[in-house]
Homo-oligomer: A and B are copies of this chain.
Amino acid sequence: MRIALDAMGGDFAPGPIVAGAVEAVLDREDLTTVLVGDQARIEAELARAPEAPRDRLPIVHAAESIAMDEKPVEALRKKRDNSISRSWGLMASGEVQAIVSAGNTGAMVASALFAGERAKMFLPGVRRPGIAAIFPSHQGPIVIIDVGANMNAKAEDLYQYGIMGSIYAQEILGVTAPRIGLLNVGSEDDKGNDLTRATRTLFQQSPWSSRFVGNIEGRDIYEGHVRVVICDGFVGNVLLKAGEGAVEFLFAAIREELARLLPNLSPEAGQKIVGSLKGLKSRFEYEEFGGAPLLGIRGACIICHGSSGDRAIKNALRVAFTMADDRINAEIIEQLSSKIPPSDDVPGAGV
């Protein structure tokens, strides 16, 4: 398996990106990671890892890179020789089977749509790819799809996101027969807007009706009764970023509170509390899955958080490897074309 890794994407690139690639290829002998980006800078990083199997870490030079805060479409037009477009080019030509980047998400998605003919880039039957983010819940990780690839989603898109998210949750998160919920403003059938009503009808008439539990509200996400939450990319993106903002805000408040509290505690008690909080914060970061997959494309694509360290990159490469393996995509293709309910379903099962 050959995977393209955008070596220039991420807040701290290329350092931890290249380090993650080295760890990943050391871990798997059947993996080749193509490092895409500034050749000299990548070479410099590789020089720090004499143990790296260089034959499985080829470099594809790209003279430019797109910054995290650049306007995606404009940047893609202006910087033709950037590491993201170059990586997708490798996908389009079949030189790699998957792509991983911790760079500009908008550019990653836009570039996927530009890279080649849709029929060549998307899985058969897929209307528009969607980004699946992983959220924590009381029952374990859940999937929210789409969190930003598609700003004008139709009911048919959300239906496909439900199916693709469900297969991802099952195969990668290990959830058995994950239930699908439609993010909405209330639980009643007729709640929401035209999009939610049309999506509901579509699911109820589909082979997936027994997996679909109907509407779920924002506050129920974290309960985890539903492991796949579908929404259009605008709502999902706001939800994802506001969630990050809320957690950061809360931890900032906790740190402030601790600064007041710690001088009144013994150093030993203080250490225990600080350690405990660090463990807590890590529960909100699903580094083990490496990042958010862009579902619906051929092969696999994982979009990592900008702040990803080597461990997240290594894990993203591992997950991309599994996903690019034909089984998951074959399942998606089959289910999107299928009129038969998934075999593990109990018809009529509710929440």
The residues of A with any CB-CB pair to B shorter than 8 Å are: 69, 71, 74, 106, 136-138, 148, 151-152, 183-188, 192-194, 217-223, 231, 233-235, 237-250, 252-254, 257-258, 260-261, 264-266, 269, 272-273, 276-277, 279-280, 283-284
Contacts and interface: CB of A to CB of B under 8 A. Distances in A.
A194 B153 CA distance: 12
A247 B246 CA distance: 8
A242 B241 contact: no
A67 B209 CA distance: 29
Per DSSP, chain A at the interface is: helix
Given A192-B234, A235-B235, A269-B269, A242 B218 contact: yes
A161 to B, nearest CB: 16
Contacts of A284: 250
The 10 closest A-B pairs by CB, nearest first: A218-B241, A218-B242, A219-B245, A222-B249, A219-B241, A185-B237, A218-B238, A222-B245, A71-B188, A269-B269
Contacts of A246: 222, 243, 246-247
Contacts of A136: 249
A186 B187 CA distance: 30
Given A185-B233, A188-B71, A237-B218, A272 B265 contact: yes
Contact of A148 (B185, B238, B239, B245): B185
Nearest to A70: B188
Given A218-B244, A222-B249, A257-B276, A238 B193 contact: no
A217 B241 contact: yes
Nearest to A258: B276
Given A186-B106, A192-B151, A244-B219, A234 B237 contact: no
Contact of A283 (B69, B218, B253): B253
